[in-house]
Chains A and B, each alone.
Chain A
């Protein structure tokens, strides 16, 4: 059963704590992406990775960090430097970074920081 999994579905943290969101795919896709979605808004790109051991900043990378040590995994760490971390986080993958392909999305993680 191919797809993208994100865990956990809901995450609660205290202000000042770092938190890591998991994203795993078994689609054998090269490219992976992290987006943030705020209420009533579209998606904004945080980080993306074109291939294993590579990643680049997106439009709103400040306060976030990622790693891509394995092809199937692209975890996102929300650090205490992120000023407004409460949001819905979506991970996606794509066959290759270039090319006209669709992105496949995970179910999302809703992070609440108080």
Chain B
């Protein structure tokens, strides 16, 4: 089952512009995470935001979480060609007791034109 739905599915911007991706989910969560995947590679963790947090920053990344709307957004500022990748949100829920299981969305494909 896929809980997260990213929007837009694809995004093309010019280098230097900001990129915003949105994620909506269905059930209550413990935390929400964003990952990046370059074509044909493994995923790289970007940022984790807990359910009691509303905003988090890491370098050029800013993540917000609105648990009342069950949504999150990832903002990449001053984008670079190297930011070209697929971006996935993943929600962590309790599963089978104390285990946190990640459920991934379908991803946003970001293309940054030089």
Number of interface residues of A (CB under 8 A): 32
Considering only residues 5-61 of chain A, those with a C-beta below 8 Å from chain B are 6, 31, 33, 35, 40-45, 48, 50, 56, 58-59
In the complex, the answer to whether B98 meets A110 with C-beta atoms within 8 Å is no
CB <8 Å contact, A102 and B33: yes
What's the Cα separation between A59 and B102 when bound, in Å? 11
Which of A43, A44, A45: most chain B Cβ within 10 A?
A43
- Give 23 CB contacts A-B under 8 Å: A6-B42, A33-B102, A40-B106, A41-B106, A41-B107, A42-B2, A42-B88, A42-B106, A48-B99, A56-B96, A58-B101, A88-B40, A90-B43, A92-B43, A98-B98, A98-B99, A100-B30, A100-B48, A100-B50, A104-B45, A107-B41, A108-B42, A110-B40
How many residues on the B side are at the interface (Cβ–Cβ under 8 A)?
A: 29
Chain B residues packing against A (C-beta within 8 Å): 1-2, 4, 30-31, 33, 35, 40-45, 48, 50, 88, 90, 92, 96, 98-107
4 further contact pairs, Cβ within 8 A, besides A43-B90, A50-B99: A4-B42, A102-B48, A105-B44, A108-B42
**Cβ 8 A contact of B42, one of A31, A33, A106:** A106
Give a binary string over A57-72; 1 marks a CB under 8 Å from any B CB, 0 the rest. 0110000000000000
